[in-house]
């Protein structure tokens, strides 16, 4: 039965076309995710592009890989000062300026961390902050991140002072202090990009999956095959379970196939280096989730899978209930755009943020949640939104199939 | 093997689609005759557990079919009026899928599918997509799916609708073959579909059984007689208003009418308004093949034209099941929309 239900989905031209569109868009996203970080400024100040350019950049940055201790930070500050004090760096000539930029490509990512960790305050980003650092400040690198957070949370002039409870503030500070330092740094463009472009893939996936799922139940009515279906021996039990199983298998197979292709393409091209580096060793430095890149990516794709399964089941429920494939197809679109609608509502911002953090659309962009300060306080037990939203939708995804089953099995033919 | 319907009613808001019907079916073909909207499909859907009754009960060998659920559907085969299918499945895939939801094991399903494809004459089309089949072939695929589980109850809702005469005859013969050792309930509004093969015919009108029995019993039970009468063309309309007319056949300068009436039909004049006045009624005899015979003018006398129809008495005809059908469902054209 399950085999035939799957065949029903892909026997339609629309199903095959949807898969082809997904393949094309996935390929385009992969190309974009790899190509956007494949630039290298050579010794003449010219920009090279492509795989060889990426390899040169990767080698230059890997030369600085290792534990980012005080000594390494001092060396980076010194190297940065050396570069910024050259006539080329200070020249108005673009070519000379580019040549100087090229010298700093190896320390570019660590220099970016210096900008963040030594920022004037938690909310400010200054690209040139690293240029004003002196080697003796290297020891303040790690403590400074915690200090910035504490100042931010204690500042009565910004909204965060009132947004978070004392328990939440304490929890965040503890999370910041719990970050294992000094941490390991490496070239991690692969992990950075695979996380950054994940929402594009997840959006493509859920649209295609929504389309495929939308007809599983409602097409019986549209094809007028419902009478024979429901009058069959298993029409009101096993055959419905077969539809649910087919939907689940299709979502699982397509999701993981697409994620596998996407991940292997991007990481295979840019490199798996930096898997064990913490999130905080990148522009996700504010994150209070003490995870490595690989752990974070695993959570993001698992969360995305939960989101896709939930939205797919929701789509099936709508199409089973309404007998309409069109309404089913619209379901993922509504789910994705619902946050935009809620954002524009004139409610308390804290409540809005908490609602947004719990919407299924958030599961499709958990890479963002890694850096959002969404917290939940369950009677004094504080936690970030990430585990809450994943756990919530694991439960809801498990609860939906019985609801769909009951809804569909009691259908009468009119 | 007893399918029993007891005081069954299905109410859709204000309308009772099926209104307190009762009957008992054992083996053989049962013909459910009725015009569109008589409640046949609703009754059949309830028999297939697709609709639940508002009141009343359907039992199979004494057990409520809705309580039996899966066990009942295991012995059921159903071909709905609007036969839906999976357009992109081949005939073979379609039947194998239906076999799977009917609970046939894969080996049995393959064997039954091959047998039925052969039996319904679709061997050459077994690999063709369902959407590419002709109407008749789709119906045959439909009967094949209904037979997959070798059902004890076979319910066929207007299976011959849209079929050409050859296909209809073929279908009728197929149903007759299939009716051994099972109950076949066949709904139709085409009398000839059930006239020769039905063990019992149920005439359904406005949600009720208005007449039931064998074809002979039903014919015998009709209180009116059937008359044949040829009249001038211009008077046909007047006859249609006055009598139930089961057939109008054009003949030169007139029309031969098949009229249902307890008494021999009287003449009706076309110039007598909505219906002929008693004083103006005259009797006519059918003058089939009356070319070159005189025709009757408006005043009843012989008039112009190559043919003439003289006033005589109508001829008594043998009653058919179609006449019975008309008796129960037909209306005089003056009674309203007059669907006959």
Is A224 in CB contact (< 8 Å) with chain B?
Answer: yes
Over residues B71-111, the pLDDT tens digits come to 999 999 999 988 888 999 999 999 999 999 999 999 999 99
- Candidates B134, B230, B213, B143; CA nearest to B178 is B143
Over residues A360-389, the pLDDT tens digits come to 999 999 998 898 888 888 888 999 999 999
B86: chain A residues, CB-CB within 8 Å: 8, 11, 223, 225
Measure B96 CA to nearest chain A CA, in Å. 9
pLDDT above 80 (res B270): no
> Which of A248 and A348 is assigned the larger pLDDT?
A248
* Count of CB atoms situated within 10 Å of the CB of A228: 26
- Count interface pairs A-B at CB distance under 8 A: 88
Contact between A150 and A171 under an 8 Å Cβ cutoff? The reply is no
Q: Name the band, by pLDDT with cuts 50, 70 and 90, for residue B315.
A: confident
pLDDT for B112 equals 93
Over residues A51-74, the pLDDT tens digits come to 999 999 999 999 999 999 999 999
**Cα distances (Å, whole numbers) of residue B36 to A90, A305, B8, B17, B78:** 92, 51, 19, 11, 19
Mean pLDDT of chain A: 91
Q: Which percentage of chain A shows pLDDT scores above 70?
A: 99
Q: Where are the domains of chain B?
A: 3-220, 225-335
Q: What is the DSSP letter of B214?
A: -
Here the tokens at position A184 are 């390991």
Gap between the terminal Cα atoms of chain B:
36
Over residues B180-204, the pLDDT tens digits come to 788 999 988 778 778 778 888 888 8
Residue whose tokens read 């809705």: B66
pLDDT for B45 equals 92
Pairing mode, if any, of strands B28-33 and B183-188? Answer: parallel
- Candidates B216, B234, B215; CA nearest to B276 is B234
pLDDT for B335 equals 52
A233: chain B residues, CB-CB within 8 Å: 70, 73-74, 101-103, 149
What is the ipTM score, two decimals?
0.79
Q: Where are the beta strands (DSSP E) in chain B?
A: 3-12, 15-25, 28-33, 55-60, 63-64, 76-79, 153-157, 183-188, 200-205, 208-213, 225-232, 244-251, 254-261, 315-317
d(CA A77, CA A19): 50
Backbone torsions φ then ψ of B310, nearest 5 degrees: -95, 145
pLDDT for B269 equals 53
Here the tokens at position B180 are 């051994």
Over residues A352-361, the pLDDT tens digits come to 888 888 899 9
Judged by CB atoms closer than 8 Å, whether chains meet at A223 and B78 is answered as: no
Q: Name the band, by pLDDT with cuts 50, 70 and 90, for residue B285.
A: very low
Residues of B with CB under 8 A from a CB of A: 45, 48-52, 69-70, 73-74, 76, 78-80, 82-89, 93, 96-98, 100-103, 145, 149
- Candidates B169, B93, B75; CA nearest to B130 is B93
Measure A230 CA to nearest chain B CA, in Å. 7
Report the chain A residue with the minimal C-alpha distance to residue B69.
Answer: A233
CATH of B3-220, one of 3.90.600.10, 3.50.50.60, 3.90.1640.10, 3.40.50.300: 3.40.50.300
pLDDT for B333 equals 55
To the nearest 10°, report the CA torsion of A226, A230, A235, A236. Answer: 120
Gap between the terminal Cα atoms of chain A:
25
Judged by CB atoms closer than 8 Å, whether chains meet at A231 and B78 is answered as: yes
B29: alpha, beta or left? (left if phi > 0; alpha if psi -120 to 50): beta
Is A15 in CB contact (< 8 Å) with chain B?
Answer: no
């Amino acid at each position: 039965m399950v085999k035939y239900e799957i065949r029903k989905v892909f026997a339609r031209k629309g199903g095959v076309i949807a898969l082809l569109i997904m393949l094309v868009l996935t390929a385009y996203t992969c190309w974009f995710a790899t190509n956007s970080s494949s630039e290298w400024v050579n010794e003449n100040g010219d920009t090279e592009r492509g795989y060889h350019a990426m390899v040169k950049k990767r080698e230059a940055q890997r030369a600085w890989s290792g534990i980012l201790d005080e000594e390494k930070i001092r060396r980076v500050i010194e190297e940065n000062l050396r570069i910024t004090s050259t006539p080329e760096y200070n020249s108005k000539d673009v070519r000379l300026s580019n040549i100087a930029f090229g010298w700093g490509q190896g320390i570019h990512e660590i220099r970016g961390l210096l900008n963040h960790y030594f920022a004037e305050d938690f909310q400010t980003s200054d690209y040139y902050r690293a240029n004003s650092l002196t080697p003796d400040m290297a020891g303040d690198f790690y403590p400074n991140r915690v200090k910035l957070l504490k100042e931010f949370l204690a500042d009565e002039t910004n909204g965060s002072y009132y947004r978070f409870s004392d328990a939440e503030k304490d929890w965040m500070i503890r999370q910041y202090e719990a970050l294992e330092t000094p941490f390991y740094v490496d070239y991690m463009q692969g992990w950075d990009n695979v996380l950054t472009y994940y929402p594009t893939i997840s959006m493509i996936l859920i649209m295609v999956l929504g389309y495929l799922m939308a007809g599983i139940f409602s097409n019986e009515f549209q094809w007028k095959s419902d009478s024979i279906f429901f009058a069959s021996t298993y029409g009101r039990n096993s055959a419905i379970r077969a539809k649910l199983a087919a939907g689940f298998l299709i979502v699982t197979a397509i999701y993981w196939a697409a994620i596998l292709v996407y991940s292997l393409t991007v990481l295979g091209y840019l490199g798996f280096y930096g898997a064990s580096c913490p999130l905080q060793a990148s522009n996700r430095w504010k994150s209070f989730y003490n995870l490595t890149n690989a752990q974070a990516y695993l959570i993001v794709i698992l969360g995305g899978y939960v989101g896709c399964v939930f939205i797919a089941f929701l789509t099936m429920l709508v199409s089973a209930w309404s007998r309409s494939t069109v309404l089913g197809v619209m379901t993922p679109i509504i789910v994705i755009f619902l946050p935009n609608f809620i954002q524009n509502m004139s409610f308390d911002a804290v409540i809005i943020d908490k609602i947004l953090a719990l919407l299924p659309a958030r599961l499709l962009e958990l890479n963002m949640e890694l850096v959002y300060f969404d917290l939940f306080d369950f009677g004094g037990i504080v936690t970030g939104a990430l585990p809450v939203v994943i756990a919530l939708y694991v439960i809801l995804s498990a609860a939906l199939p019985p609801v769909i089953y009951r809804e569909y099995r009691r259908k009468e033919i009119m | 093997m007893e399918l029993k319907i007891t005081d069954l009613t299905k109410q859709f808001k204000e309308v009772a689609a099926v209104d307190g019907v009762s009957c008992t079916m054992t083996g053989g073909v049962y013909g459910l005759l009725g015009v569109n909207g008589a409640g046949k499909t609703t009754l059949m859907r309830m028999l297939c557990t697709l609709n639940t009754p508002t009141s009343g009960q359907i039992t199979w060998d004494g057990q409520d079919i809705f309580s039996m659920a899966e066990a009942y559907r295991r012995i059921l085969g159903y071909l709905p009026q609007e036969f839906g299918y999976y357009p992109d499945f081949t005939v073979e895939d379609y039947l194998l899928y239906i076999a799977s939801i009917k609970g046939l094991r894969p080996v049995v399903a393959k064997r039954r599918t091959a047998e039925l494809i052969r039996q319904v004459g679709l061997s050459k089309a077994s690999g063709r997509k369902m959407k590419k089949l002709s109407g008749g072939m789709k119906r045959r695929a439909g009967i094949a799916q209904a037979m997959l589980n070798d059902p004890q109850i076979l319910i066929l809702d207007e299976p011959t609708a849209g079929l050409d005469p050859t296909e209809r005859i073929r279908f009728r013969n197929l149903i007759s073959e299939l009716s051994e050792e099972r109950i076949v309930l066949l709904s139709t509004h085409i009398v000839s579909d059930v006239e020769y093969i039905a063990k019992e015919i149920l005439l359904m009108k406005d949600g009720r059984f208005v007449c039931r029995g064998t074809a002979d019993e039903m014919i015998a039970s009709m209180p009116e007689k059937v008359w044949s009468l040829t009249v001038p063309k211009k008077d046909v309309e007047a006859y249609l208003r006055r009598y139930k007319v089961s057939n109008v056949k054009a003949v030169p300068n007139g029309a031969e009418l098949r009229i249902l009436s307890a008494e021999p039909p009287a003449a009706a004049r076309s110039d007598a308004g909505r219906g002929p006045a008693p004083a103006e009624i005259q009797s006519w005899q059918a003058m089939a093949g009356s070319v070159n015979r005189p025709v009757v003018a408006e005043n009843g006398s012989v008039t112009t034209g190559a043919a003439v129809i003289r006033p005589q008495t109508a001829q008594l005809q043998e009653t058919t099941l179609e006449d019975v059908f008309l008796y129960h469902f037909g209306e005089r054209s003056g009674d309203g929309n007059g669907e006959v």
